[in-house]
A and B are shown apart, each in its own frame.
Chain A
Amino acid sequence: MIDKPVVVEKLSKIYPVRQRKGLFRSQKDFVQALKDISLDVEQGEIFGLLGPNGAGKTTLIKILTTLILPSSGKVWVNGFEVSKHENDVRASVGCMLMGERGLYWKLTGRENLEYFGALYHLPPASRKKRATQIIERIGLEDIADRTVETYSSGQKMKLAFGKALINDAPLLILDEPTNTLDLPSASELRSIVRQLHEQGKTVIYTTHIMAEAETLCDRVAIIDRGELLAIGTVAELKDSLRWAKVIHVEGVIPAQAVKAVREIAAVKQATRTSQNGATQLTVVSAEGSEILAELIQVLTHHGASIHKLTPQEPTLEDVFITKTGRTLAEDTRVR
């Protein structure tokens, strides 16, 4: 008897893809999107799936929601095996995938919710009532009777989130729900997720935003290139770097400088990334400020120009960088 909302055992997914070789030629190839993933989600927790774009989060979510079939391994959702009891899985899960693309733009927000209510077998009277409740909860009362095509991107995302609530399922699966939302709307949506969590719902929440996972999730699984790199509470994951001190260096940092930093004895890892036009070097070392002088000297000696240097406690992003050598902002889609 499976008593956890989600149990995943040795799950793998291999996609056939076509490599285009010019106008008319193509070659069949295979991409392994998930490699032997095993994890489970506890009752009533917010479980974060954290990873960069292309890590395999959405593939995992699509298997959990029966959209695609696994190549191998087994998955149970709310006690039902996904490949054998599809409709039971679907009835017991509220999903927000594809964001605003999962809506009918020529229907109004209310008509969308009522239609999906019908598809979840809600009787006509209940689906109207439920649609009204959701509209109030997500704050779309003023525009509920306008066609979705007239909504802003953020309003569409809110409605897509509302659609996931229509069947009042015990398990919510939300795939990057704050994408395209402005900061206040994203914060509002996270607050609704917290309220639903307090009401006892289990939530699986995928994101590539580290701060979001850190503030919202009880436990987090870090996925990269189809592999499960780490799983645990935010504190546990950070604790895995308790031996380490992290120093962030911003500025102009040439490759030879990074190479030289890696040769410092106390440095366990040095990863150079670019974000918003700025280059950043994340140095993980067993020592903290003790190596600052040597670090500055090595960097400047190898042509680096330092704009900012900050020693700090490890974050989830640092855990990710330590394990992968890359930041969460990078697209690691398997090519």
Chain B
Amino acid sequence: MKYSWKSYLSVVLASARMRFLTILRYPGQLVLDTFIPIVFAAMPILLGRANGGTNAAAAFQRNTGTPQYVAYLLIGSSVFTIVSLAFWHMAYWLRWEQEAGTLETLYLVPVHRIWIAAGTAVYSCARSLFSSLTAYFLGALILGFNPWQGELLLAFVFLLVGMVPLYGVTLLYGALILKVKEANALVGLMQWGVSFLMGVFFPITVFPPFLKFIALLFPPTWMTNGVRSAILGVGYFFGKWYLDLAVLWGFLLLAPLFGYWVFNMVEVQVRRNEGMGQF
């Protein structure tokens, strides 16, 4: 049976709507999401102010290319919010459905899970972009810097282009959770690993070569640096914005396909063995 693209789009929107309806019944969570990046960035900012004193900005510029360490750290934590929520929403979505018993139900409908996952990704993108952008502008107001500087539109393009491969990577993670049936510890561990690799509070140029190579294989690293370069002018990895963006486009084409392939493989294995009902 063939369905139209409109019908699949309707599935994606229904899946996103279902997630929004659910979270709207926990409104406090939406408010908290906005404050988390500000609090997360405030700690190193205050540490910098306490230890660096009047020389903090100059010392920071020597290593990062910008004296605006407050904006630098807040941008890092705002982008990290997008990355972290993407993992939480996608990974926890699967685990949540698994534990609730609705995951099996999703395998009874004539729609590949990828469309339902796409709906969850749409929900996650909207929610994390809202939290991240609100945190950036609210944080600028609280911490005292101009949020309208630099090329905001280009920064936004880096965010949007980077989100597609990011959700591709979360599918890999989803496959792992489908297999090992554990989300909290895996996402918790990933959060710290990712924040470290993407250079949430520091430039990855300070990494030794091998670690730097690993960090560059990860799309959020390019997202973070792209946004910082567009707003604060810290410098693109390849010198030009379009070259860095081209790398993100490469990830955009490869990561979702790879994630889909792995997810499908794990799914078949689970259905061949214990089935989706076990959690």
Give Cα A24 to B258, complex, Å: 34
B1 touches A107 (CB 8 A): no
- Contacting A98 at CB < 8 Å: which of B15, B17, B277? B277
Is B157 close to A, CB under 8 A?
A: no
Q: Is A121 engaged at the interface, CB distance under 8 Å to the other chain?
A: yes
Contact B272 A97 (CB under 8 A): no
Residues of A within 8 A of B15 (CB): 118-119
A97 to B104, CA, bound (A): 9
Do A69 and B268 touch (CB < 8 A)?
A: yes
Which of A88-96, A204-212, A325-333 is found at the contact surface with chain B? Answer: A88-96
- Given the complex of chains A and B, what is the CA–CA distance between A246 and B56 in angstroms? 94
Q: How far is the CA of A331 from the CA of B100 in the complex (A)?
A: 25
Q: In the complex, which residues of chain A have a beta carbon less than 8 angstroms from the beta carbon of B22?
A: 104, 106-107
User: How long is the Cα–Cα vector from A265 to B272 in the complex, in angstroms?
Assistant: 49
How distant is the Cα of A121 from the Cα of B4 in the complex, in angstroms?
9
Which B residues are in CB contact (< 8 Å) with A107? 18, 21-22
Contact A67 to B107, CB < 8 A, known contacts A102-B101, A104-B102, A118-B10 = yes
CB <8 Å contact, B109 and A98: no
Distance, CA A114 to CA B14, complexed state (A):
9
Shortest CB-to-CB span from A72 to chain B, Å, is 12
Q: Interface size bucket, A side?
A: 35 or more
Q: Are A98 and B101 in contact (CB under 8 A)?
A: yes
The interface on chain B, measured as residues whose beta carbon lies within 8 A of the other chain's beta carbons, has a size of: 34
Contacts of B109 in A (CB 8 A): 90, 116, 119-120
**Are the CB atoms of B102 and A102 closer together than 8 Å?**
yes
A15 within 8 A of B: yes
Identify which of B100, B107, B108, B272 contacts A104 (C-beta below 8 A).
B100
CA distance A247 to B108 in the complex (A): 45
Of residues 53 through 104 on chain B, the ones whose CB sits less than 8 Å from some CB of chain A are 100-102, 104
Q: In the complex where A88-B1, A121-B110 touch, is A98 in contact with B105 (Cβ < 8 A)?
A: yes
Cα distance, A116 to B111, chains bound together (Å): 11
The smallest C-beta distance from A162 to any residue of chain B, in angstroms, reads: 13
0/1 string, B1-12, CB within 8 A of A gives 1? 101000100110
CA separation between A141 and B117, bound complex, in Å?
31
A101 to B279, alpha carbons, bound, how many Å? Answer: 13
Q: How many A-B residue contacts, CB cutoff 8 Å?
A: 97
**In the bound complex, do residue B10 and residue A121 qualify as a contact, i.e. CB atoms below 8 Å apart?**
yes
A91 — which chain B residues lie within 8 A by C-beta? 1, 110
| The one of A16, A88, A163 that contacts B110, using a Cβ cutoff of 8 Å | A88
Among B3, B7, B108, B273, point to the contact of A16 (Cβ < 8 A): B273
What is the 8 Å Cβ interface bit string for chain A, positions 111-133, against chain B (1 contact, 0 not)?
10011101111011000000000
CB distance from A177 to the nearest CB of B (A): 15
Is A115 touching B100 in the complex (CB atoms < 8 A)?
no
Indicate if A280 sits at the interface (CB-CB under 8 A): no
Q: A119-B11, A124-B10 are in contact. Are A69 and B271 (CB under 8 A)?
A: yes
CA distance A102 to B10 in the complex (A): 21
CB of B163 within 8 Å of the partner chain: no
Q: In the docked arrangement, what's the CA distance between A66 and B7, Å? A: 22
Rounded to whole Å, the gap between the CB of B122 and the closest CB of chain A is 14
What 0/1 readout, one digit per residue, does chain B (241-275) give for beta carbons within 8 Å of chain A?
00000000000000000000000000010011111
Residues of B within 8 A of A147 (CB): 25
Q: Flag whether B106 is at the interface (Cβ < 8 A).
A: yes
Q: Is the CB of B273 within 8 A of A15?
A: yes
For A147, give the chain B residue with the smallest CB separation.
B25
Whether a CB of chain A sits under 8 angstroms from the CB of B187 is no
- B1, B7, B104: the one contacting A87 at CB < 8 Å is B1
CB contacts (< 8 Å) of A104 on chain B: these are 18, 22, 100, 102
- Residue B116 at the chain A interface, CB threshold 8 Å: yes
B276 at the interface (CB under 8 A from A): yes
Residue numbers in A under 8 Å from B7 (CB-CB): 121, 123
In contact, B274 and A15 (Cβ under 8 angstroms):
yes
Cβ-defined contact, B104 with A102, below 8 A: yes
Chain B residue contacts of A68, Cβ below 8 A: 271-272, 275
Report Cα–Cα, A38/B143, bound state, in Å: 72
> How many Å from the CB of A180 to the closest CB on chain B?
14
Closest partner residue, chain B, to A166 (CB atom): B109
Taking the complex as formed, is A178 at the interface, i.e. its CB lies under 8 A from any CB of chain B? no
- A95→B104 CA distance, assembly (Å): 11
CA distance A123 to B274 in the complex (A): 34
A123 to B8, CA, bound (A): 11
Asked whether B14 lies within 8 Å of A97 as measured between CB atoms, the reply is no
Q: Which residue of A lies closest to B106 (CB)?
A: A119
Contact (Cβ within 8 A) B18 A115: yes
User: B11–A67 contact, CB under 8 A?
Assistant: no
Q: Kindly state the separation between the CA atoms of A39 and B103 in the bound complex, as whole angstroms.
A: 29
Instruction: Tell me the minimal C-beta distance from A291 to chain B in angstroms.
Output: 48
Nearest-neighbor residue (CB-CB) of A173 within chain B: B108
How would residues 168 to 207 of chain A score, 1 for a CB under 8 Å from any chain B CB and 0 otherwise? 0000000000000000000000000000000000000000
B1, B13, B104, B110, most chain A CB atoms within 10 A? B110
Give A190-243 interface residues, CB cut-off 8 Å to B.
Answer: none
* Chain A to chain B: the 6 pairs with minimum beta-carbon distance, closest first: A101-B101, A118-B14, A91-B110, A119-B109, A68-B275, A87-B110
A interface residue numbers (CB < 8 A to B): 15-16, 62, 65-69, 86-88, 90-91, 93, 95, 97-98, 101-107, 111, 114-116, 118-121, 123-124, 147, 163
Further pairs besides A67-B277, A93-B108, A119-B15: 15, Cβ < 8 Å? A15-B273, A16-B274, A66-B108, A68-B272, A69-B268, A86-B110, A88-B110, A97-B104, A97-B105, A98-B104, A102-B105, A106-B21, A111-B18, A118-B13, A119-B109
